[in-house]
Amino acid sequence: MKVLLALLNISIFLAIVIGASKYFYFTYLKRFTTKILHKYNYTLDDLKYSFEEIIYFVTLPTNNPLIINSSLDDLYIEKEFISHVYPTINGLKIILKTPDSRDMLVAYLARDKFRIPLLEKMVYVGKIDSQTYTRMTAYKLVHPHTINEIKEEVHRQLKSKRY
C-alpha cells in the first residue's frame, strides 16, 4: 500500500513538473525578450519576420478537396518541443483538421529557420550573442500574434490558385 502511495505521489509530482515547465519556459522567454528589447529601445512589434522558411508538406497550388474546402478554423498550430522536463521550442506544426476528424500535417516552421533581420543585425554588431538571438526568436515564434499570422499565411498559401 505504501509503495502504491509513493508511486502515486511521484506520478503527481512529475505531472506537475512537466505541466508547469512549459509555463515557466514561456514566462522566462517573455521576460528575457522584453528586457533585451527595452535595453535597446525596441518593442516586440519591431521584430519583423518573413514566412519564406515555412516548409509545406502538400503540393502548392493544390486541387485536393480536403484542402480547398477547408477554412481558417480548420487549421491549428501545435508547438513542438525538444524536451518536456526542460522544454525548448523546436518549431511549429501547422495541422489541418479534416472533415473526417483526421489530422493532416500541412506545414512546419522550425525555430532555427525563423529569421528576424533586426536580431541578426544585433548579433552582427555585437549587441547580443547567438544564445540571446535563439531565445528571442523562440519567444517571437510562440507569441500568440505571430502564431495567428503564421496560421493566416499558411491558409492563404493553401487557398492560392497559382496555376
SS3 of residue 58 by DSSP: coil
User: Range of 121's domain?
Assistant: 2-159
- Asked if the model's pLDDT at residue 52 lies above 80, the reply is yes
In the chain, the number of structural domains is 1
Integer angstrom CA distances of residue 138 from 27, 100, 116, 151: 12, 33, 11, 17
Q: What is the pLDDT of residues 135-156, one digit of tens each?
A: 999 999 999 999 999 999 999 9
Closest CA to 135 of 31, 18, 41: 31
| pLDDT of res. 162 | 61
99: which 3 cell numbers?
A: 472533415
Q: What are φ and ψ of residue 70, in 5° steps?
A: -80, 160
Residue tagged 549587441 (cell numbers): 127
Q: What is the pLDDT of residues 67-116, one digit of tens each?
A: 888 889 999 999 998 876 678 899 999 999 988 878 999 999 999 999 99
d(CA 141, CA 128): 18
| pLDDT of res. 79 | 94
